[in-house]
């Protein structure tokens, strides 16, 4: 479903919620399935595919995924929008509405409420939630705003999304983290480090306007496509690289979503390979 302005999805949202729907849009629901799937990988690895299908620890898993995806991640993206004030397309939200007046408070409220509710879940999950809460504030909120510090945006995202998100799914079950699974989650950090610059290319102009210094902007278009992510997902990257000099920002944005599809295949492969018992 498209979330472009004037789409049936948006028209329905505004009919139901009125102007308040702008707040929901800035939590970027289009990303929720991606975030939920990556976190659910940890849950599947913890209990196994058969047990997951049978609903073992399912209540805690669903509760924790809602907190992680909607409250933590949605709140993170809302506070990011509150300070970025993008006018063009942003990740998972095309043609974003103007930033509503209380978006920062709304996003922080979501994150704080989610953090309070996370205290009902195993301590490992609560710790992961707290760590990502801190990273989110450091990433977006002045005077820190580490996304404007050369390359720090890359580190925060590879740790938060790459490693801690699947760990949170594992921690929901209360199962201690063993060494093989630790290595799987740790490996997702450099894997996402390869993907992350691809998510920034179509935002070059907006980032330059704000004076942000994302890793992709520092490296430039061709280096982001080649040196950082070379060796990963050739079916996506090689055609992208070949056409990069003539591609529009919309085409770069589609390339980002194709790379996220490759990421989903990676999650599925790991679940099948390690989550069978």
243 belongs to a structural domain = yes
12 belongs to a structural domain = no
8 belongs to a structural domain = no
Dist CA 77 CA 128 (whole Å): 18
Confidence of residue 259 (pLDDT cuts 50, 70, 90): confident
SS3 state at 120:
coil
Dist CA 177 CA 23 (whole Å): 36
Q: Token match 């069978």: residue?
A: 276
Dist CA 193 CA 158 (whole Å): 5
Confidence of residue 219 (pLDDT cuts 50, 70, 90): low
Q: Token match 């301590």: residue?
A: 123
Confidence of residue 223 (pLDDT cuts 50, 70, 90): low
3-state secondary structure string, 133-186?
Answer: HHHHHHHHCCCCCHHHCCCHHHHHHHHHHHHHHHHHHHHCCCCCCCHHHHHHHH
5 belongs to a structural domain = no
pLDDT at 222: 62
pLDDT at 202: 58
Return the structure tokens found at 167: 């760990």
Higher pLDDT, 250 or 168: 168
For residue 257, the domain's CATH number is: 1.10.600
77 belongs to a structural domain = yes
pLDDT at 213: 63
| pTM for this prediction | 0.76
265 belongs to a structural domain = yes
Confidence of residue 66 (pLDDT cuts 50, 70, 90): very high
Dihedral sign (CA 133, 138, 142, 143) = positive
Dist CA 193 CA 137 (whole Å): 20
3 belongs to a structural domain = no
- pLDDT tens column, 51-61: 999 999 999 99
The domain of 50 spans 18-274
6 belongs to a structural domain = no
Cis check: omega of the bond before 143, within 30 degrees of 0: yes
Q: Token match 């995924």: residue?
A: 65
Confidence of residue 228 (pLDDT cuts 50, 70, 90): very low
Overall number of domains in the chain: 1
- What φ, ψ does residue 6 adopt, rounded to 5°? 85, 0
Residues 147-165, mean pLDDT to the nearest whole number: 85
């Amino acid at each position: 479903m498209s979330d472009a302005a004037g789409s049936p999805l948006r028209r329905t949202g505004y009919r139901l919620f009125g102007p308040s729907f702008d707040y929901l849009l800035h939590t970027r629901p289009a990303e929720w399935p991606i975030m939920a799937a990556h976190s659910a990988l940890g849950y599947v690895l913890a209990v196994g595919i058969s047990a997951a299908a049978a609903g073992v620890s399912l209540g805690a898993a669903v509760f924790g995924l809602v907190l992680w995806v909607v409250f933590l991640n949605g709140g993170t993206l809302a506070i990011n929008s509150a300070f970025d004030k993008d006018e063009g397309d942003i990740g998972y939200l095309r043609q974003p509405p103007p930033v509503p007046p209380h978006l920062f408070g709304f996003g922080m409220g979501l994150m704080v409420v989610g953090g309070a509710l996370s205290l009902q879940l195993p301590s490992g999950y609560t710790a992961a939630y707290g760590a990502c809460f801190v990273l989110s504030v450091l990433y977006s909120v002045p005077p820190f705003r580490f996304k404007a510090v050369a390359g720090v945006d890359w580190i925060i995202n590879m740790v938060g999304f790459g490693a801690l998100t699947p760990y949170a799914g594992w921690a929901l079950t209360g199962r201690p983290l063993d060494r093989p699974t630790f290595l799987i989650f740790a490996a997702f950090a450099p894997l996402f480090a390869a993907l992350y610059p691809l998510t920034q290319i179509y935002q070059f102009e907006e980032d330059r306007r704000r004076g942000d210094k994302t890793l992709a902007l520092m490296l430039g278009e061709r280096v982001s496509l080649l040196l950082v992510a070379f060796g990963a997902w050739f079916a996506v990257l090689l055609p992208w690289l070949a056409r990069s000099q003539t591609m529009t920002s919309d085409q770069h944005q589609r390339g980002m979503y194709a790379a996220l599809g490759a990421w989903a295949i990676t999650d599925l492969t790991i679940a099948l390979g390690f989550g069978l018992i």
